[in-house]
């Protein structure tokens, strides 16, 4: 997928295909605006956290951040998700303790466990929102992805941009990483620039819409088999030095290299193996592991049943500046006047 994020001879030769896709996207959006395609409104305010590029940008961690902030303000948020990678026989699916990642999707299951709020999965996100409105005491809904799901009414639209890759070659799929034209950024409520792990945040640039800055804070490693067992980065390095074997690091996320880059920056010696986003892990995927296995939290959700020895996931938390939750509540109040 790296060719999508830099100019190439193919992108120049096949640019007309991107123009055609752009026309189709504009037509679809117009059909919703004029009422030919229906928009399902909700009794609950909806905050959409999405992106206009393919690949991971940090949407799910931002949803988790907003849930935490909203709970601290006394609200009762719920989450809706498409449930990518999940295959349930029944929708809407309210994730419960016994719901597997194979049913709900890895990101939705991860959010349900980490946020401890109702999470409903449905390919029709509007139906998931209605389910929360009718079967929970939630007073605000966050949609993990769904920016292009125009059938779902929303009060706030937030776009997350991975600053390490930005908008790539700025072409639409299949020649570039864009799901929608870059001009879409001018119509959203806010843009969050994600600077990844522990990077110093530069001064905010002027933009046509409110802009925020985010980065990940790493909180050490957690045992895949027992969430009560943790290791700091220094403790992990010490154990690796004692074993005299490199760790085996896997990543089935939108941007695997971001995880591997963090490990390298922490001087954690490891052999790396990227997988496709939402990869369904099997025991065979870890046949090359010699001792320590490292992965993301999203991957760990799908690996618990494998009973891996000495497997750890990186615990991360997103921080955002200035305060995004207050901005969302202000936008909701303005929309409801």
- Tens digits of residue pLDDT in 72-89: 999 999 999 999 999 999
Q: What is the pLDDT of residue 19?
A: 81
Q: What is the pLDDT of residue 12?
A: 63
CA 216 to chain centre: 12
**Rounded to whole angstroms, how far apart are CA atoms 104 and 144?**
13
- Tens digits of residue pLDDT in 192-215: 999 977 666 777 767 789 999 999
**Rounded to whole angstroms, how far apart are CA atoms 59 and 260?**
19
Phi, psi of 281 (to 5 degrees): -70, 145
CATH class of 2-215+319-336: alpha beta
Domain boundaries, the chain: 2-215+319-336, 217-316
Which residues lie closer than 8 Å to 294 by C-beta, 6 or more apart? 221, 247, 248, 249, 250, 263, 268, 270, 311, 312, 313, 314
Is the whole-model pTM more than 0.75?
A: yes
Yes or no: say if 160 and 54 are a contact pair by the CB < 8 Å rule. no
Radius of gyration for the chain, computed over Cα atoms and rounded to the nearest angstrom: 20
């Amino acid at each position: 997928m790296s060719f999508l994020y830099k100019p190439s001879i193919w992108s120049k030769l096949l640019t007309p295909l991107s123009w055609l896709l752009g026309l189709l996207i504009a037509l679809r959006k117009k059909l919703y605006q004029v009422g030919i395609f229906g928009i399902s409104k909700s009794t609950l305010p909806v905050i959409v956290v999405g992106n206009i590029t393919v690949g991971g940008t940090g949407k799910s961690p931002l949803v988790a951040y907003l849930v935490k902030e909203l709970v601290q303000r006394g609200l009762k948020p719920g989450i809706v998700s498409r449930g990518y990678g999940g295959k349930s026989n029944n929708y809407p699916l309210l994730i419960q303790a016994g719901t597997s990642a194979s049913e709900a999707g890895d990101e939705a299951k991860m959010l349900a466990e980490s946020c401890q709020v109702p999470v409903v999965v449905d390919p029709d996100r509007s139906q998931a929102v209605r389910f929360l409105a009718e079967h929970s005491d939630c007073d605000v809904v966050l949609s993990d992805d769904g920016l292009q799901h125009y059938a779902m009414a929303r009060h706030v639209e937030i776009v997350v941009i991975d600053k390490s890759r930005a908008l790539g070659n700025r072409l639409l799929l299949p020649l570039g990483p864009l799901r929608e034209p870059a001009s879409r950024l001018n119509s959203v409520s806010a843009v969050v620039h994600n600077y990844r792990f522990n990077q110093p945040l530069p001064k905010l640039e002027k933009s046509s819409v409110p802009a925020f800055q985010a980065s990940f804070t790493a909180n050490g490693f957690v045992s895949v088999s027992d969430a009560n067992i943790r290791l700091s980065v220094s403790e992990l390095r010490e154990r690796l030095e004692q074993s005299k074997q490199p760790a085996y690091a896997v990543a089935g996320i939108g941007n695997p290299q971001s995880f591997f880059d963090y490990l390298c920056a922490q001087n954690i010696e490891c052999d790396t193996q990227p997988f496709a986003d939402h990869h369904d892990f099997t025991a065979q995927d870890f046949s090359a592991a010699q001792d320590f296995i490292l992965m993301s939290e999203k991957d760990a959700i799908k690996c618990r049943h494998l009973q891996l020895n000495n497997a750890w996931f990186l615990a991360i938390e997103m921080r955002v500046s200035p305060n995004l939750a207050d901005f969302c509540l202000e936008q909701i109040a303005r929309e409801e006047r």
